[in-house]
Amino acid sequence: MPEETTAARVLDIRAIQAAIPHRYPFLLVDHVEVVEEDKIAVGTKCVTVNEPFFAGHFPGHPVMPGVLIIEAMAQTACAMVLSKPDFAGKLAYFMGLEGVKFRAPVFPGSVLKLRLQALRIGRAGKFIGKAFVNDKLVAEAELTFALVDRGA
| Residue 9 burial (CB count, 10 A) | 16
Asked about 57 being catalytic, the answer comes back as yes
Whether a cis peptide bond, with omega within 30° of 0, leads into 58 is yes
DSSP letter (8 states) at residue 42: E
Other C-beta atoms closer than 10 Å to the C-beta of 136 total 9
Q: Phi and psi dihedrals of 77, rounded to 5? A: -60, -45
* Active-site option among 22, 31, 57, 61: 57
Q: How far apart are CA 60 and CA 8, in angstroms?
A: 40
Task: Give the active site residues.
Answer: 57
